[in-house]
Structure formats: structure tokens, C-alpha cells
Structure 1
Amino acid sequence: MKMNRRGLLGLFGAGAAGGYASAAMARQSPAVRFAHGVASGDPLSDRVILWTRITPPEGFVGPVMVQWRVLETVSETVVTSGHVQTGQDRDYTVKIDATGLKAGAEYRYQFFVGEVASPEGRTRTLAVNGVRPVNLAVVSCQLYPGGLFNAYEAIAALPELDAVVHLGDYIYEYGASASDYGMATGPMLNRIHEPAHEIISLSDYRIRHAQYKTDADLQSAHARAPFICVWDDHETANDAWMHGAENHQPETEGDFATRKATALQAYYEWMPIREAAAGQMREAINRSFHFGDLASLMMVETRLTGRTKALEYTSDLTAKEGPDGEPVLDIEAFAALRDDPSRAMMSSGQHSWLKNELAASKGTGRKWQVLGNQVVMARVAGPDVSRMMSAEQVAGLMAQIPEAYRDQFEQALFLFKMGLPFNLDAWDGYPADRERLYADFAEAGVKPIVLSGDSHAFWVNDLKDASGHRRAFELGTASVSSPSIADALGGFPLGQALMQANDEVVFCDQSAKGFVLLDLYEDRAEARLMAVSTIFAKPFETTVLARFNITPDEEISRL
């Protein structure tokens, strides 16, 4: 379909505030703006989170009273309303857990400060029973300087949408120097990170969240349907794990635990996500959502609660003396290190929780169990191109690679000849814990659909355990705007090479940008990989790159 920018934020009308806000409150209210739109999230059968942010006048530092209301979509009857105070202590964000709603119903909602009205949003609660089809849009990895958020314009225009599942990298922590990630395109698009330095402090993280939510397309998608979100690494720092991150240097950037707490505070302020329950760690955002009698969605956390440090080829793949006395790579020692049972992506507590949730969902008769998971789960070895091409073809390929990436690519090709994993920061870096997860699936009696982000690529994978038994199906979404490895490799068909090299990889496209549409029915699940034609201009085209059908306990088939 052909897409043009539309005034989707006003799709439902401005909603006059004059008769709703009291005259007394109007006289006392500052002249605020709703510059960051509205959002809803974490829907349950009787409640949903509503979110907005007030932009007060410059120099204003006092509290602001905000009114809110929820209306039935058809009758426009106000079903619940209230008021709440916000201020500097939460960066003037507003979050309401609107309760007392009907199951499986659509609603409209809006906020008011005096006579100033926010845009109006749409949301939906979850059904308690019935097998109505479930329509989910799956997104990940939106780098503001990387390109326009055209995927969100396409999502906002969808005629049927129950929820948007966001798998992380909602923001990125990098700065705006010429060498920073995304800055090859940021200046061209006038999308330069604020603040201009890498974000460390609470103020930094708040400013960065605020900048991303000024994007009109992201605002439109938030106003269209509830989001169900989980973070990945860039909401804190690149390649984060329990006690650190690749992009965190304690010597100059302080204690990682402090940075993590700061990042999570800003995340909870700025995202339409339910707050952690009393007594729970803020990092523990694994939670479940049940769509009537048809499906359950379990969101897992694989970064901050149980993950051990990722391995790196540069530091963990060592050399030993070869038969002729010359050093050779010690592949066996590296394999033993990677297979260490103590290496984990999730805590034992989260494993137990997930197994119980899967079994309970299966026990109720729900046909589908879906995992909202951050990183690719499939077993994916890097491609050995020497088996796919002649020496002359490989030489020609190398000539096409931009000079800045040629050495790295050549090193990667050398490692991949030995069957080493394509990505150690994914589940492939934690094979023992992946086997524990597959055992959880087997004990619960389910073959779930695993949703994955992070890789900036589309994937359809047939997940099998070490014994070759199918344990799940995987759908990986491309990025909204973050660059992929293929973007740096010229015309090299990386996706095709990965498909040829790996039995579990049914489909892979490493170049396209977009999102996944997952439609769940009683007898099948249909996945459409939706690609936008460009992230550098408007208008743009949205096309179905590929479509797959999944039937419970059967093969994946391409439609």
C-alpha cells in the first residue's frame, strides 16, 4: 500500500476540554503542551495503562494537575475518569492504571490540563474467553538518527490491531559525534541525538526518551493501540548483562548498577508499562497476557536479571600450539567455554515462572503460546562463503565491501569457516541455557512461537534442541530504522548465505526494514514480514516481503 504522512494524531477528533475541566482548575493551570502524544500499554481484561507527558512553560517548576477520562468507543460514554498530579520528580510524565473496564472492549482516552486537551488515543482490553482472532504488530530497534520511523506510520494505519509488541531498543544511548552509531544518516535527516553525548545521567536518559517520543509516526502508533514492551540492551547500554555492558566503562562512567537504576527510572517514567509490584526488582518485567481462550503472550527478560557476560571472539577465542609448532585457534577450548552450564540468559526463577505459565496456558486449552523475547534463539552458524563461491567470486565479493569494513569482514569469514556462531550476544552464546529453555517447553507440553528482535533482520526459524527435536518456531523482526550488517556489506546476500548454511533458518532477510504482523487463529498462525521501501523519505511503500503459515505441531509453510 502507498503511504503518505497523515494527521493520525487527530484521527479521533480533538475532544473539547471546555465542558470537562472545571473553570477553577482552568484558572489555576499553567499553559502546558502535550508535545509527546499519548500512549497505552499492558492491557489486561479489566484495565490498561494510560500515559502522557506534560510540557510545562519554560521556567515553570511547580506541580501540575492532570485530568483524564476513558470513553466507550461507540457510545462515547465516559466509563471512568479521574485526576492526578505530576511534577519534576517524574519529569512531568503521567501514568494511570485505568481499572473497571469491560473485557475485550475498545476504548478512547484523553488527558486535560485546564482547557488544554491532549490528542485522543485508542486502546483495547483483553478478552476473558472466546476465540476471536488476535492481531499483533511486532517491532524492535528504532535508532532515531538511523532513519524515519515509517514502520510506525504503517502500523498506525492498520485496520485490525490488538497490540504492538515491542521487543526492545526503544531508544539508543549513543552520542551525536561523527563516528557515533547512526550519524552517517542522522545529519542528512536532521535527526541528531539529544543530548549530543552518550547518555549517563537521569536527565540524559529523560531527554533521550523525550526526543524519541517527539516523532509523529511513533506517536501515531502509540495512539492507535496498546503497546506491550520489554527492554533489550540500548535502553541502558550496548550488550548489557547483569553487572555491566560492553558500552559502559566504570573508570569514566561510574558504577553500572547506578547507571542501570537511572536508566530504568527513566524507562518506567516514559513508557506505558505497569510498575513493578511492591517487593519485586524493577528489572523483573517478565509478565503474561492472555487473549481470551486463544493465546497467551509471555514477555521474558534476558538482559538484567539473569544474563552472564557475553563471550567475545577477540578475548575468549585463544590460540594454542599447532602440530607444526605454529599457533592455531583453540576451537575446543572456546566450545567448552561456550557450553559451560553456568552461562545463562535467564535466572532459574524466571525459568520456573515461564514453565508454569506455559503449562497453565496449555492447561486452559489455549492453542497458542507466544514468547516476547529479545534476541535470536535459533542455532545460527556464520556462513562459510568458500563453500558457496569460487575463489574468484570471493575475491569479487571482497572488492564490493566498503574499505572501512573489509578487514572485519575478512576476519569474520575466517572464523565462520570453523562453524562458529554468527552472534555470541544471542542465545547462541548460551547453548546450555537454551537447552534448559527447550526442556521447559517440553515439560509444559508446548511448541511456542518465539518472537525475537535485536538482530535488525527478518527471520523465520525452526527451533530444535541438541537432539534434533523441534521445540518451537521463531519469528524475528527487522529493525524499524537501525542499520543492519548487510547495509555495510554492499550487495552481499547475507540472508541467503545464512539460510544455506543453517538447517534451522527457514527464511532470513538481512537488509529490509519494517515489522512483523502475527495473526493468530484457532487453526493456524499467519506471519507477514512487512517491509517499508525506504526509511529515508516519504511517501513510501509497504509490502509483504514474505508470508508464512504455522499450524500447531506441524511444519512452517510459506504462502
Structure 2
Amino acid sequence: MSDRVILWTRVTPDLGNGEDVAVAVTVASDPAMQQIVATYAATATAAADYCVKVDASGLQADRWYYYQFAVANRTSAVGRTRTFPASDRFIDRARFAVVSCSNYPNGFFSVYRAVANHPDLDFVLHLGDYIYEYGAGEYGDFPDRDPLPAHEMVSLSDYRQRHAQYKTDQDLQAIHQQFPMIAVWDDHESSNDSYRDGAENHQPLTEGDWETRKQIAQQAYFEWLPIRPREPGNHSVIYRRFQFGDLLDLTMLDTRLEGRDEQLTIPADPARNDEDRHLISAEQMDFLLDSLSASTSQWRFIGQQVMFAQLNIAELPSLSEDQAQLRGNLSAINMDQWDGYAADRLKILNHIDDNNIDNVVILTGDIHTSWASEIYRNPGSLLGDLFDKPLAAELVTPAVTSPGFPEGAAEVAGVLIPVVNPHIRYVEAKSRGFILVDVDRQRTQGEFYYAQSIESFDLRGQIDTSKTKVVAVKSGDSRIVEDLPPSRPRTLRTAVFHPPVPNSDEVMS
């Protein structure tokens, strides 16, 4: 929908008496909030943790807007957002950032600040692990950034408090203030290595029923993120589709909580090829395949959580064509990725191939490292599919703060992994950063930018230009082209930050 956008804030009541709070929302075409185009009324309630979401409708397509919340005589900071171009409109360019894996106790959110320093982006795509569930000292111990509450979050109040703590971070605030965000959860918004019926880091005897905890985590996520539910009050379904003019379609998946069977525990377990093992439900699979088939855009993006490309440590000859297509029948490493659900992946690739669907780019988070891969059914032999046209390309974003490979091992992995996996064209296994995706009619370009530091407050937002990596896929091809120049920023037509608002009492998030 190109005539609306979700606006979000959180009100902090003066008194903790549980009473509702009336909130006024103003939308304007200028940062000084003088050229008002719409007003809305909302109510902050204790039942929603005083989070406020307004589905601001009736706006013009493909426009930047400014918005502000008010309670009585108190006003929030001014935010900036935009509507998408109508699906039938010719669009020649889009620019957006892809981020993932922001663990508060691991360091400053320097990467978020670096994204905010690119004011010409159309939106930010967050692919999960927006928060982490662990207690203090369990996963990261950066000074003065202990998680709240100090214990692992289990209850609704725990999840709400952790979300609230993250929203106090100035660098995360800068992203939300400037750009609309398209977001999905991964595992840590609930618990590590979660799936439909449980999680590695959930102990029913001490932490209660998993279904209850999952629903609590989903409720808090929908309260604290600017996301529109597919159905009113339904906090369990997060897969959906966006259209940015006729340039790109973006299908967002839930590869974590909606339909995933439990992960296998043994790497290369042949059961991963079982057609009865699923990463997403049949309903979600149909949604994805229908979205790919129905798309008339120049590019088809899939935003999802776990690595799609095969990641093997060795390859053995396959005994049959079916095994060749499933591939990695003995040698895959990570069963939490699509490698652990090979039949589902093959179904998607067969659909792309059988229907001659081109220009498919998969965007992924989760593994705290950077990857650019060509997607084949059988990438295991240089004499096999690698002489054929790739069916898609995948870009995996590095983490905001969560750790990758240790020093030394990261450099070795970056050299050896592409040798065993020739379809993987780029690996950077330790640096924190983001991908800037620049799309036009001829190519999709992925620019991997890395933070100078997540330990220094003064270096927040600064890029280590010596590490920047640029790759691209050309329209109609999907092969990875490396070492191109970075794209040129747009000439801005909107202001980035609003001027100070006289006599404002900024009590809202």
C-alpha cells in the first residue's frame, strides 16, 4: 500500500495508575511541521505497554513526510518517513540499508549511526535479532551496557523492558527518526535457535511453556516495532510483501517461528534432505511462490533470516540426480540454515527455474558475517551447475554488534570457504557493518560497509573505508560481479534532521 505508513512512539506516563493517555499525531510535508497534511488521534494504553502505532493512511504515494506526537502540551521529537511509490509507477532507482544482529552488551551501535549518516536511503531493512534474550554476562559484557532486566527475559515485562532499553540508544533512535523500517524477527527476539515448538535456549522445567513464551515475545515485538499486522490482533504472522513502484518487490519471510521443524543436531545428517522437514509452512511456501510468480517488477527480493546458499566442508559424488539437486548429502555444516531443510530450498529453486523467474536477490541476516553467493541447485562441482546461469543471488549482512569469527580464524575462513564452495564469491567473517543496496533497472549493487569501531564512543558512525566491498548482479544474469565503485548518493530533496522545536518537552520515545 503506497498511501500509508506506520508511525510509532511510546509514551511514558507521569503516573503509573494504568489510565489511558490520549495522543495526537501530526503529519506535515516540512520538518518545521508548518505545512500540515494530516492529523490522527490515538490512545496509549497499559495493555500495549503505552506503545502507540498509527497506520497513517490517506497520504500521497512516493512522498517524504514529517511527523510528531503530542500529549497535552508535550511534544515528541520530529520524525521523518516516506510512502512507497505506487506499484504501477516506473521507478529507476531505490536505495536501502540491510542490518541484523544488534546485541546491546557487545558494544556501541556504531553501525546504526553509520546507516543514519546515509540520509538518502528510502528505508531500512532489519532482518532480525533486533534484541537478544540473554542475561548480564551471558553474551557480551561491554562496560555500562548491561542488559535490562539483568536476567534472561522470559516474562512479558522482561521482553518489554529489554525492548525499552534498546530504544534508549541514541544511534538506534537516529535510524527510526529518519527512515521507515521493514523488520522481521529471528531467534533472539524470543530465544536462541528457536523453532515452531521450542528453542535451544528454553528450558520448560524452569522457564515454563514454550508456546506461552513465544506468544509473549511476539506480542512485545509487535508493541515495540513499527510493523503492521497482517490481521488485527494477530501477532504470530509476520511474512508479507512490499512493492516499490515497478522496480522491486520485497517478500518478507518468517523462517524462524511460523513453520520451522526442530533443527537437526548432527551436521550433515541425511535427514536434512527429507521432504517432510520444513523451514516454513506450506501456507508460507505458497505465499512465497505465488509472490515470485505474480511479480511484474524488474527485481524480486526475498528478505529472510538464515543463510540460503549451501555451505559445505567437502563434496562427495552424488549417487543420483535427486541427490545432486539436494546436494551436500554428507557435508553441510549448519543445520539451522536452509542446509538443514534442503527439500524446501529445492522447491523454491525448482519454482524459479521452471517458471523462468529472473532477477531474484535473497537478503539474509543471522550469522554475524558477510557473504555474497550465487545460488545454484548443485554448486558442488566446478564442472556442474557453475557453468549454468545462477538461479538467484544472496547477500548476507554482517552484524551490528554480535561477534563473528575470532581473529585469525576469520581470515582463514575468508580464503578457504570459497575454495570448497566456489559459488560463494565473498566472505568477510569478523567485522561489524551493514549492506547498502542500490538498485536500478540494470543491476542490484550490494555495498558492504564496516564500522571503524564499536568500542569507541567517539568513532561511532565512522566507516573503515579500507574494508569496503562492492558486489553486483546484473539484470538477467545473477552472477556476482566484484570490486565495482560505490554508488553515488542521491541529491537530497528533504532535510535530514528537524530544527529545534521551541518549548518542547520530549517525553516520548
TM-score by length of 2: 0.86
- Provide the rounded CA distance (Å) in 2 between the counterparts of 1:428 and 1:261: 27
Q: What secondary structure is seen at the aligned counterpart in 2 of 1:478?
A: coil
> 8 Å contact 1:134–1:162 — kept in the other structure?
yes
Q: What secondary structure is seen at the aligned counterpart in 2 of 1:353?
A: helix
Match of 1:402 in 2: none
> 8 Å contact 2:191–2:202 — kept in the other structure?
yes
Find out whether 1:551 has 2:492 as its counterpart.
no
> 8 Å contact 1:459–1:505 — kept in the other structure?
yes
Q: What secondary structure is seen at the aligned counterpart in 1 of 2:352?
A: helix
- Provide the rounded CA distance (Å) in 1 between the counterparts of 2:411 and 2:472: 28
Match of 1:450 in 2: 362
Task: Map 1:356-371 to 2 at 5 A.
Answer: 356-361=290-295, 364=296, 366-371=297-302
1:217 aligned residue (171, 189, 212): 171
Match of 2:95 in 1: 135
- Provide the rounded CA distance (Å) in 2 between the counterparts of 1:551 and 1:491: 29
Moved over 6 A (4+): none
- Provide the rounded CA distance (Å) in 2 between the counterparts of 1:133 and 1:234: 33
Match of 2:241 in 1: 288
Task: Map 1:411-490 to 2 at 5 A.
Answer: 420-447=331-358, 448-466=360-378, 468=385, 470-484=390-404, 486-487=405-406
2:258 aligned residue (305, 316, 322): 305
Task: Map 1:38-53 to 2 at 5 A.
Answer: 44-53=1-10
Counterpart AA for 1:45: S
Find out whether 1:504 has 2:423 as its counterpart.
yes
Q: 1:482 to 1:251 in 2, by over 3 A?
A: same
Task: Map 1:191-210 to 2 at 5 A.
Answer: 191-210=145-164
Find out whether 1:354 has 2:294 as its counterpart.
no
Q: 1:198 to 1:76 in 2, by over 3 A?
A: same
Task: Map 1:121-200 to 2 at 5 A.
Answer: 121-128=79-86, 129-176=89-136, 178=137, 180-183=138-141, 186=142, 188=143, 190-200=144-154
- Provide the rounded CA distance (Å) in 2 between the counterparts of 1:103 and 1:191: 40
2:38 aligned residue (56, 80, 84): 80
Find out whether 1:260 has 2:180 as its counterpart.
no
Which one has the bigger helix percentage?
1
Cα deviation per residue 1:508-551 (whole Å; 9 max; x = unaligned)? 00011010000110111111001111111133331362001211
Cα deviation per residue 1:429-486 (whole Å; 9 max; x = unaligned)? 11111101112322443231000000100100001013735221000000000011x1
Q: 1:141 to 1:491 in 2, by over 3 A?
A: closer
Q: 1:78 to 1:201 in 2, by over 3 A?
A: same
Q: What secondary structure is seen at the aligned counterpart in 2 of 1:109?
A: strand
Q: 1:285 to 1:550 in 2, by over 3 A?
A: same
Q: 1:153 to 1:474 in 2, by over 3 A?
A: same
Q: What secondary structure is seen at the aligned counterpart in 2 of 1:194?
A: coil
- Provide the rounded CA distance (Å) in 1 between the counterparts of 2:435 and 2:257: 26
> 8 Å contact 2:411–2:429 — kept in the other structure?
no
Q: 1:383 to 1:113 in 2, by over 3 A?
A: farther
Counterpart AA for 1:340: D
- Provide the rounded CA distance (Å) in 1 between the counterparts of 2:393 and 2:343: 19
* Total equivalences in the alignment: 454
- Provide the rounded CA distance (Å) in 2 between the counterparts of 1:490 and 1:354: 36
- Provide the rounded CA distance (Å) in 2 between the counterparts of 1:532 and 1:383: 33
Q: 1:556 to 1:489 in 2, by over 3 A?
A: closer
Counterpart AA for 1:143: N
Offset, 1:227: 0.2
Find out whether 1:522 has 2:475 as its counterpart.
no
Cα deviation per residue 1:298-321 (whole Å; 9 max; x = unaligned)? 1011111111011112xxx6xxxx
Find out whether 1:115 has 2:89 as its counterpart.
no
> 8 Å contact 2:364–2:396 — kept in the other structure?
yes
> 8 Å contact 1:359–1:445 — kept in the other structure?
no
Q: Percent identity?
A: 40
Find out whether 1:245 has 2:199 as its counterpart.
yes
- Provide the rounded CA distance (Å) in 1 between the counterparts of 2:157 and 2:179: 29
Cα deviation per residue 1:21-46 (whole Å; 9 max; x = unaligned)? xxxxxxxxxxxxxxxxxxxxxxx310
Match of 1:277 in 2: 231
Q: Which stretch shows the higher mean deviation, 57-66 or 148-157?
A: 57-66
Unaligned runs of 5+ in 2: 316-327, 379-383, 485-509
> 8 Å contact 2:229–2:237 — kept in the other structure?
no
Q: CA RMSD in A?
A: 2.0
Match of 1:22 in 2: none
Counterpart AA for 1:258: T
Q: What secondary structure is seen at the aligned counterpart in 2 of 1:68?
A: strand
- Provide the rounded CA distance (Å) in 1 between the counterparts of 2:99 and 2:410: 25
